[in-house]
Structure 1
Amino acid sequence: MNATRISDRLTVAGQPDPAMFGQLAAEGYKVLLNARPDGEEPGQPGNKVEGQAAKDSGLDYVFVPVTGPGITEADVQAFQKTIRDAKGPVFAHCKSGMRALALYAIGEVLDGRMKRDEVEPFGRSHGFDLTGAVRWLDREAKRSPVIKGFFDPRTWSIQYVVTDPATKHCAIVDPVYDFDEKSGSTGTGNADAILNYIEAEGLTVEWILDTHPHADHFSAAHYLKQKTGAKTAIGSHVVDVQKLWQGIYNWPELRTDGSQWDRLFSAGDTFTVGSVKARVLFSPGHTLASISYVIGDAVFVHDTIFMPDSGTARADFPGGSAKVLWASIQEILSLPDETRVFTGHDYQPGGRNPKWESTVGEQKRLNPHLAGMDEKRFVALRDARDKTLPMPKLILHALQINTRGGRLPEPEANGRRYLKFPLDALEGAAW
């Protein structure tokens, strides 16, 4: 193992022997950060072994698995946060130390503490070639649109601000309105973080876009419309979801014409975010109304496809279909391989950092639900897995809000708002 001290806060290294973690703790290190994906080479200890060895040695453990070409801003953010929050020095490793140092250098540039032209000399001064980090920075600087993700750990959701750098106009995708099911409390912390970012960047909001009526969190679309005046939109088949849930809730007052949104998108519809062209794919299967937004070189797929290490969405909600989901996924995978794919949830398999960006090419090669798969096998896999899953804990809460574009129930005579629960309406009890 080669170890290189970068600062009082950071040392980067090649693969250490987990038997040495106790020695690292004795030397004063407080955090062991593993930047290697499992299975890179035979004999690699791997995430599970390193995590247990770190715990046994009294070290905090963080898993930020990356490949050089596959580094995303979420990985950089996770690396930065680890160093910022650590109660002492961080020992970060990959196979050689280069990826760990690249994550650090990219973060320094993005935060303005280092210039792009300083990256390669900085790497050479520590014995590393950081040309890959410079290529990453150059590639990201040319991206259009610019995409900022906001991860909500309570609902495992990612919300997005999608910006045209030429005009500073933006769209908000799948924003979250805070809800605590135990106390019944509501809040706007997630939505306000988005608004703070928009104000800090000097952006103008054109669109507030939902990909479908969510079953696991409330939509903040209505709240954000009140704050920004931007247009709200969702897929046109939301009317089918409204009619379905009108019956489940026995809710004759619910308008089922989609009039709660400013625009209902159908397959093939086009629009713009500033000067960036966008179009709509109809992507049912997870729900009746799911759509994907192709904006510039990016596609926002929410629950249709997860990160490559996490598979695909369930298809057992009312109106869902694994067969239909497979067809929707194939349309997404027909986009160019370099298309950026942004998912709506991340459940952090193996305890890794939250991630939300991949590419069409990576999904084809690495997603076990898609690589080498055909429709028959996919449907069998998806149906078998879905039978083991309980209903989302917020589905009966959320659909009352999200079939109305994020509007809370009207206050009753005592000034309080109330949700209505149908008993025994859905299968999938937790027991």
Structure 2
Amino acid sequence: MNAVKINERLTVAGQPAIADFPSLAAQGFKTIINARPDGEEAGQPGNAQEKSAADAGGMGYGFIPVTGPTITEADIRAFQQKMAEADGPVFAHCKGGARALTLYVLGEALDARLEQGDIEAFGKAHGFDLSGAARWLQRQAAAMPQVKAFFDPRTWSVQYVVADPSTGRCAIIDPVFDFDEKSGATGTMNADAILAYVECRGLSVEWILDTHPHADHLSAAHYLKRKTGARTAIGAKITGVQKLWQEKYNWPDLKTDGSQWDRLFEAGDRFDIGSLEARVLFSPGHTLASVTYVVGDAAFVHDTLFMPDSGTARADFPGGSARELWASIQDILALPDETRLFTGHDYQPGGRAPKWESTVGEQKRSNPHLAGMTEEGFISLRETRDRTLPMPKLILHALQVNIRGGRLPEPESNGKRYLKFPLDVLEGSRW
């Protein structure tokens, strides 16, 4: 194990043995950061063993698995957060140390504490080749559109601001309206954080977009429309979802024509975000109405594809179909391999830090639900898996709000709002 002290806060190294962890604790390290994916080579201890060894030594632990080509800003910010949380020196490792140092220097560069032109010299001074970090920054600067993600740990949801840097115009995708099902409390913390970012960057909101009617969180689309005046939109098949849930909620007064949104997108529709052209892919399977928004080199797929280590979305909601989901995924994978894919949820398998960005090529290579999979094999895998899953805890709370574009129920005579909660309408659901 080669260990290199970068500064008083950070040492980077190659793979330590589990037997080294007591010594690391004795040397005063307070946190271990493992930047290495499990299974890179035989004999590698892996995330679970490392976490146990760190816990036994009284050290904090972070799992941020990356490969050189797949580092994203989410990984960089997760590395920074783990360092900030540590109450003393941090020992960060991968196989040889370069990836751990790359995560560090990219954070320093993004926050303007290290000049891009100085990165390779900084690496050489410590015995590492950081040319990959310099190339990452070049790609980041050239990426169109600019994408800022907001992760909500309560619902594991990812919200996005998608901006055209040349005009300062942007779209907000899949915003979360805060809701606590235990107390009935509502809030706008997530949405207000997005608005604060938009204001800080001097952006103008043109669109508020939902990819589908969500079953695991309430949509903040209506709240944000009132705050910004931007147009709201969703896929045109929302009318089918409205009709389906109108019956389940016994809600004859519900309008089922999609008039709660400013625009209903059909498959193939195009629209503009500033000077950027966006287009709509119809992506049913998870729901009847799911769509993918393709903007420049980015596609927002929400509950169709997760990160490669998490597979694909369930297809057992009312109106869902594993066969249709497979077809939708094939449409997405037909995009160029370098297309950035932004998912709508991350459930942090293995306790790793949240991630939300992959590429078409990475999904083809690494997603076990897709790599080498046939249509029938996928359908069998998906349906078998779905039979084991309980319904999302907020599905009956959320749908009555989300099929109305994020509008809460109207206040009753006492000034309070009330959700309607039907019993026994999701027959056969696992408890």
TM-score interval, normalised by the smaller of the two chains: over 0.9
C-alpha separation between the residues in 2 aligned to 1:35 and 1:375?
A: 34
C-alpha separation between the residues in 1 aligned to 2:86 and 2:133?
A: 24
Q: Secondary structure at the match of 2:257?
A: coil
Aligned to 2:283: 283
1:256 matches 2:263: no
Question: CA contact under 8 A between 1:305 and 1:312: conserved in structure 2?
Answer: yes
Runs of 4+ in structure 1 over 4 Å off: none
Aligned to 1:60: 60
- Cα deviation digits, residues 149-184 of structure 1 (max 9, x gap): 110000000000001111111100000000000000
C-alpha separation between the residues in 2 aligned to 1:428 and 1:138?
A: 52
Q: Secondary structure at the match of 1:208?
A: strand
C-alpha separation between the residues in 2 aligned to 1:408 and 1:88?
A: 46
RMSD in angstroms over aligned alpha carbons?
0.7
C-alpha separation between the residues in 2 aligned to 1:84 and 1:196?
A: 23
C-alpha separation between the residues in 2 aligned to 1:416 and 1:5?
A: 59
Map 1:158-173 to 2 at 5 A: 158-173=158-173
C-alpha separation between the residues in 1 aligned to 2:430 and 2:184?
A: 21
Counterpart amino acid of 2:341? Answer: V
Counterpart amino acid of 1:299? Answer: A
Per-residue deviation, 1:427: 3.0
| TM-score normalised by length of structure 2 | 0.99
C-alpha separation between the residues in 2 aligned to 1:278 and 1:253?
A: 34
C-alpha separation between the residues in 1 aligned to 2:287 and 2:315?
A: 7
Q: Secondary structure at the match of 1:21?
A: helix
C-alpha separation between the residues in 2 aligned to 1:383 and 1:430?
A: 13
Question: CA contact under 8 A between 1:236 and 1:266: conserved in structure 2?
Answer: yes
Per-residue deviation, 1:254: 0.7
Aligned to 1:218: 218
Per-residue deviation, 1:25: 1.1
Aligned to 1:407: 407
Aligned to 2:94: 94
Per-residue deviation, 1:125: 1.0
Give the unaligned 5+ runs of structure 2.
none
Map 1:14-413 to 2 at 5 A: 14-413=14-413
Per-residue deviation, 1:330: 0.5
C-alpha separation between the residues in 1 aligned to 2:22 and 2:202?
A: 48
Counterpart amino acid of 1:212? Answer: H
C-alpha separation between the residues in 2 aligned to 1:142 and 1:195?
A: 25
Counterpart amino acid of 2:252? Answer: P
C-alpha separation between the residues in 1 aligned to 2:301 and 2:349?
A: 19
- Cα deviation digits, residues 1-36 of structure 1 (max 9, x gap): 111111111110000111111111111111000000
C-alpha separation between the residues in 2 aligned to 1:140 and 1:373?
A: 32
Q: What fraction of aligned residue pairs are identical, expressed as a percent?
A: 72
- Cα deviation digits, residues 259-290 of structure 1 (max 9, x gap): 00000000000011111111000000000000
Q: How many residues align?
A: 431
- Cα deviation digits, residues 347-406 of structure 1 (max 9, x gap): 000000100000000101100000111111110110100000010000000001000000
Per-residue deviation, 1:429: 4.3
Question: CA contact under 8 A between 1:306 and 1:313: conserved in structure 2?
Answer: yes
Per-residue deviation, 1:430: 4.7
Give the unaligned 5+ runs of structure 1.
none
Per-residue deviation, 1:112: 1.1
| TM-score normalised by length of structure 1 | 0.99
Counterpart amino acid of 1:254? Answer: L
